[in-house]
């Protein structure tokens, strides 16, 4: 485990992304809320938030961090569900893994909710979008790399 | 949560896949084991196994299942690390999510171990490869969809 | 811990109940979904399901049980939110605690979602409604003891 | 999840309450420590403390908080067991949920320890008694609302 | 992780042992229950039971097992506290690790409760006493290896 | 739970030790990495780190602490495996239990990896080596008490 004892506490944030590729048929079924398990996007949101808080249990060498904000934002697009997460903390190390874990858990939950309709659903583009804070400086991914998402059709309720 | 009370216990297995895209520079550094956190592939293997056992904690509507085998197998390829997982249980529902969660946790751990070298590493192709057992029948993904992996260069030690 | 080694595995089920007493003002705000944290009833449902699966972590002397079904059903009433849970398993001991833990976690989550509106919200009538299976025989609570709930006004979506 | 990033860290405390209604017969058996599982009040105390530390795992939108003190204090009364909990932390958000979770887990543990004697035991009056600290100001519940507790007959050992 | 899929479910049990070496002064203080944290032996008992249930979270390659009985039995001796644990399950693999984890957690909890009195307390003789069930046959440790324990002076309440 | 609210946050560290006594035959097998579960020392290292982070879940009255460094360092000796752990945090209470829990989990994992070869392996000398920080002052164990370890033969890779 990296020793962060001597680092100073600074404000950290990270944004991560995941994309759940889905066929129009599955997307349509999902949007009609006919799923017997509940609203997939809301369950995915909760799953992402819950997982982010426990990142240091999933990822062996992550430090436990006192997160002050976790936002998991799923959006229905023409060809799938885009997950965007944001995590914030005042800490001695960054929250990149927390944002990525939230995105992964949310995406896997969408899969779980829809797998009865299509077991072939693929999760792709799980990556860090940006981070701020810390000595290594800020990072911002080149947006042109986003290749899967087509025009989104449904905006979820405003940010929470 | 889907009610599986009336289902019979049968042998279930699932194979899942994830790919961590890495540049030759990061791959080379990783393979020299110069990483200060330990051997990334071994830590990823443990992370995947540990996460699979707790799938019902990460994915809200998954049933707790008595897994009898979890295998997490990372392979260094020319352009990244391929993760392949296999999970088995005698259960009333399938172990697809357990295999996928193992693959996601292992891939995210590889990211965590290498993010000091490159924060832009992307995880892709997180999907179910096959499942057997259960009333819905067997599933096998069309292999031609594997598009990222180039010829592998290093075979990890034999299956555990 | 009670030794259940010699008991035979039989089908077990339990139904539990909790009531979150709320003023008309808070109920109205909650039903308009103006809550910045999301839909309280859906978050409560997920919280209850997740907690039930981990009952043996919250209650020191509970056995870990392979639950096959968990249903958490919140209903908006005139004077609060009624939580009704049902849990099923084939096991050597009953699932009463699992049903009660689900009801408690769901009720506390409703409190958490609404506490910005009223910190004085009280949770009451947390009890077992019925259990079936096991050597001690079935149990069914006398319904007349339900005293808090007035006529319900909103039926949640059908059972999941 | 509410964003508390911009809030300042202040001293927070919360007191919560729960009441486990029990018949004289069950109370008498419990006090004779004839219970084969151990001393119910001591197990309940430990259960409450352990649960409070993991509140952010029970309640999906709670922040993980660095608790500095948790006290769970069960008192045998004429008609049941009263649970009183107190939680303290220096944090950016309050510890109300932690105190309530401790009270709920302790009360449910008393139920678990005594359910072989009476499955009809009911948990009531789970509420916040007071909170201090934070921008929303202090809160103190009107004591006259405590209706179930009769004169207590056994004082537990002094506060820990 | 060892693949136990093809193994048959049989009755398994394991007994483990740990010894917490303590000076007469610390032992005397502990037995007077002057410890501000509660009765160390009762807290240790609960800690051991709780830990055993989660063995597969502590020990990376352990399978999750449906334990049917856990007994943690601390005994005050002239020169310390002896912990003896017993675990039972019907499973495809043994419960040795569960018994050892229970003993370790109980012993560490005794240390935690008494460390204000003596930080130099040592835990020793953490080993498997016996196991039964499974294809590898029964195991029983040679008792003469127990070297630390002197005559016990206080028998704890009868087995639970 | 001890109330540490009024204590000031200071830098804390603790070093702990455990020894897994092993016969030359088992040691030789372990060092040849013929173990089907993986490299025992690396798995033990991860197990220790993961366990330390969750100390407040295993030990009922431990406070949750924001650890900034965990080091688990197994060394192969002539007659067993020595585990040495170091934990650091800026906190209101010490990290002794975290270091001891890491040592115990690592030692138990070595046992788990080697128990197919010898079920009689014993874990001994689980103790605190030193602690620094906090009002009670520093502690350093008298080294002559280390009795089991003979000359070490294999140094593990440099500290991580």
The DSSP secondary structure of A18-69, one letter per residue, reads EEEE--HHHHHHHHTT--TT--HHHHHHHHHHHHHHTHHHHSTTPPP--EEE
Largest separation between any pair of C-alpha atoms in chain A? 53
Cα separation, E35 vs E52, in Å, equals 25
Residue of D nearest to A64 (CA): D64
Confidence of residue A147 (pLDDT cuts 50, 70, 90): low
Å between C18 CA and nearest CA of chain D: 9
Residue of E nearest to C90 (CA): E66
**pLDDT in the model for residue B159:** 37
Instruction: Please give the structure tokens belonging to residue A82.
Output: 């885009």
Q: Do C38 and A45 touch (CB under 8 A)?
A: yes
Neighboring chain D residues of C124 at a CB cutoff of 8 Å: 124-126
The region, left, alpha or beta by phi > 0 then psi within -120 to 50, assigned to residue C125 is: left
**Mutant choice from F42, F73, F112 vs B, greatest count of B C-beta within 10 A:** F42
Cα dihedral sign, B50-B52-B54-B60? positive
**Separation of first and last alpha carbons in chain A:** 33
Neighboring chain E residues of D46 at a CB cutoff of 8 Å: 38, 43, 46
3-state secondary structure of F14: strand
Helix residue spans in chain C (DSSP H):
24-31, 40-53, 55-58, 96-114
Q: Do C58 and D131 touch (CB under 8 A)?
A: no
Å between D32 CA and nearest CA of chain F: 25
Cα dihedral sign, A29-A30-A32-A33? positive
pLDDT digits (tens, 9 = 90+) for A78-137: 999 999 999 999 999 999 999 999 999 999 999 999 999 999 999 999 999 999 998 888
3-state secondary structure of A110: helix
**pLDDT in the model for residue B32:** 75
Instruction: Look up F112 and say whether it is catalytic.
Output: yes
Mean pLDDT computed over every residue of chain E = 88
**How far is Cα of residue D121 from the mean position of the Cα atoms in its chain?**
17
Of all residues in chain E, what percent carry a pLDDT higher than 70?
86
What torsion, rounded to 10 degrees, do the Cα atoms A47, A51, A52, A56 define? 180
Neighboring chain E residues of C1 at a CB cutoff of 8 Å: 49, 69-71, 160
Q: Do F112 and E36 touch (CB under 8 A)?
A: no
Cα separation, F56 vs D65, in Å, equals 13
pLDDT digits (tens, 9 = 90+) for A45-75: 999 999 999 999 999 999 999 999 999 999 9
Task: Give me the CATH topology for the region F14-142+150-154.
Answer: Alpha-Beta Plaits (3.30.70)
Residue C63, chain E, CB below 8 Å: the answer is yes
Residue F4, chain D, CB below 8 Å: the answer is yes
Residue found by looking up tokens 């249930």 in the block:
E53
**pLDDT in the model for residue D102:** 98
**How distant, in Å, are the alpha carbons of C116, C129, C152, D18, D122 from that of C146?**
28, 10, 13, 18, 11
Mean pLDDT computed over every residue of chain C = 88
Polymer length in residues for chain E: 160
**Separation of first and last alpha carbons in chain E:** 33
Subunits adjacent to chain D (3 or more Cβ pairs under 8 Å): A, C, E, F
**How far is Cα of residue F102 from the mean position of the Cα atoms in its chain?**
4
Q: Do E60 and B69 touch (CB under 8 A)?
A: no
What torsion, rounded to 10 degrees, do the Cα atoms E109, E50, E6, E60 define? -50
Residue F68, chain D, CB below 8 Å: the answer is no
Of all residues in chain B, what percent carry a pLDDT higher than 70?
86
Q: Do B111 and A123 touch (CB under 8 A)?
A: no
Instruction: Please give the structure tokens belonging to residue C73.
Output: 């059903």
F126 near F107, Cβ under 8 Å?
yes
3-state secondary structure of B53: helix
Confidence of residue B157 (pLDDT cuts 50, 70, 90): very low
Residue E90, chain C, CB below 8 Å: the answer is yes
Neighboring chain D residues of E160 at a CB cutoff of 8 Å: 36-38
Å between F78 CA and nearest CA of chain A: 27
Residue F46, chain E, CB below 8 Å: the answer is yes
**pLDDT in the model for residue A150:** 55
Of all residues in chain A, what percent carry a pLDDT higher than 70?
86
Confidence of residue E156 (pLDDT cuts 50, 70, 90): very low
**pLDDT in the model for residue A29:** 85
Confidence of residue A156 (pLDDT cuts 50, 70, 90): very low
Confidence of residue C160 (pLDDT cuts 50, 70, 90): very low
Q: What is the DSSP letter of F154?
A: E
**Mutant choice from A32, A33, A38, A71 vs C, greatest count of C C-beta within 10 A:** A38
Q: What is the DSSP letter of F156?
A: P
3-state secondary structure of D44: helix
Between A29 and E105, name the one with better pLDDT: E105
Q: How many CB atoms lie within 10 A of CB E89?
A: 24
Neighboring chain B residues of E92 at a CB cutoff of 8 Å: 68
The CATH code for residues E10-154 is 3.30.70.640
Residue F66, chain E, CB below 8 Å: the answer is no
Nearest to E55 by CA among E43, E63, E47: E63
Cα separation, C104 vs C50, in Å, equals 12
3-state secondary structure of E2: coil
Least confident of A1-15, C35-49, E138-152, F144-158: F144-158
**DSSP secondary structure string, E9-49?**
PEEEEEEEEEEEE--HHHHHHHHTT--TT--HHHHHHHHHH
Neighboring chain A residues of D2 at a CB cutoff of 8 Å: 69
Half-sphere exposure for D24 (CA within 13 Å, toward CB): 3
Å between D71 CA and nearest CA of chain F: 7
Nearest to A119 by CA among C76, C97, B140, D111: B140
Confidence of residue B137 (pLDDT cuts 50, 70, 90): confident
Å between A135 CA and nearest CA of chain B: 12
- pLDDT by position in tens, chain F (length 160): 899 999 999 999 999 999 999 999 899 888 775 555 678 999 999 999 999 999 999 999 999 999 999 999 999 999 999 999 999 999 999 999 999 999 999 999 999 999 999 999 999 999 999 999 988 889 999 765 455 555 444 444 433 3
Cα separation, E144 vs E127, in Å, equals 13
Of the listed F3, F39, F112, F118, which one is catalytic?
F112
A127 near A16, Cβ under 8 Å?
yes
**pLDDT in the model for residue C29:** 85
pLDDT digits (tens, 9 = 90+) for D115-133: 999 999 999 999 999 999 9
Q: What is the DSSP letter of F144?
A: G
Cα separation, F90 vs F130, in Å, equals 17
Active site residues of D: 112
Neighboring chain D residues of A46 at a CB cutoff of 8 Å: 60
Interface of B with A in 105-144 (CB under 8 A): 105, 107-109, 111-113, 115-116, 119-128, 131, 136, 139, 141
Among F49, F68, F90, whose Cβ lies nearest the Cβ of A60? Answer: F49
Cα separation, A148 vs A136, in Å, equals 30
Cα separation, D49 vs D69, in Å, equals 9
Q: Reply yes or no on domain C20-154 having CATH 3.30.70.640.
A: yes
3-state secondary structure of F63: coil
| Residues with Cβ within 8 Å of residue C75, at least 6 apart in sequence | C81, C82, C83, C84, C152, C154, C155, C156
Confidence of residue E37 (pLDDT cuts 50, 70, 90): low
Of the candidate CATH numbers 3.30.1360.230, 3.30.70.640, 1.10.8.60, 3.30.300.30, the domain formed by B16-154 belongs to: 3.30.70.640
Among F97, F109, F119, whose Cβ lies nearest the Cβ of E128? Answer: F119
Q: Over the range B15-24, which residues count as b (16 or more CB within 10 Å of their CB) and which as e?
A: bbbbbbbbee
Nearest to D27 by CA among D75, D69, D80: D80
Q: Do A46 and C37 touch (CB under 8 A)?
A: no
Subunits adjacent to chain B (3 or more Cβ pairs under 8 Å): A, C, E, F
pLDDT digits (tens, 9 = 90+) for E61-102: 999 999 999 999 999 999 999 999 999 999 999 999 999 999
**DSSP secondary structure string, E96-158?**
HHHHHHHHHHHHHHHHHHHTTT-TT-EEEEEEEEEEE-STT--EE--GGG--S---EEEPPSS
Neighboring chain E residues of F145 at a CB cutoff of 8 Å: 122
Taking residues C58-77, what's their average pLDDT?
Answer: 96
> Count of CB contacts below 8 A, C vs D?
119
**Mutant choice from A124, A125, A143 vs B, greatest count of B C-beta within 10 A:** A124
**Mutant choice from A119, A129, A131, A134 vs B, greatest count of B C-beta within 10 A:** A119
A58 near B105, Cβ under 8 Å?
yes
Taking residues B97-106, what's their average pLDDT?
Answer: 98
Active site residues of B: 112
**pLDDT in the model for residue A20:** 98
**pLDDT in the model for residue B29:** 85
Among C60, C61, C66, whose Cβ lies nearest the Cβ of E66? Answer: C66
Taking residues C38-59, what's their average pLDDT?
Answer: 95
Q: What is the DSSP letter of B63?
A: P
Residue of B nearest to A49 (CA): B58
Taking residues D83-90, what's their average pLDDT?
Answer: 98
Q: Reply yes or no on domain D24-154 having CATH 2.40.10.220.
A: no
Q: Do C64 and E69 touch (CB under 8 A)?
A: no
- ipTM over 0.95? The verdict is no
Q: What is the pTM of this model?
A: 0.92
3-state secondary structure of B102: helix
Residue B38, chain F, CB below 8 Å: the answer is yes
């Amino acid at each position: 485990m990296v020793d962060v004892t001597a680092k100073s506490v600074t404000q950290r944030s990270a944004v991560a992304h995941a994309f759940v590729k889905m066929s129009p048929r599955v997307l349509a079924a999902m949007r009609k809320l006919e799923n017997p398990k509940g609203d997939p996007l809301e369950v995915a949101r909760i799953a992402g938030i819950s997982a982010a808080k426990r990142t240091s249990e999933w990822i062996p060498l992550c430090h436990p961090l006192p997160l002050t904000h976790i936002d998991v934002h799923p959006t229905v697009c023409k060809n799938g569900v885009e997950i965007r997460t944001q995590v914030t903390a005042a800490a001695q190390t960054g929250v990149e893994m927390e944002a990525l874990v939230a995105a992964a858990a949310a995406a896997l939950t969408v899969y779980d909710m829809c797998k009865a309709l299509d077991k072939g659903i693929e999760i792709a583009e799980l990556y860090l979008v940006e981070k701020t804070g810390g000595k290594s400086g800020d990072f911002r991914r080149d947006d042109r790399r986003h290749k899967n998402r087509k025009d989104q059709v449904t905006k979820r309720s405003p940010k929470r």
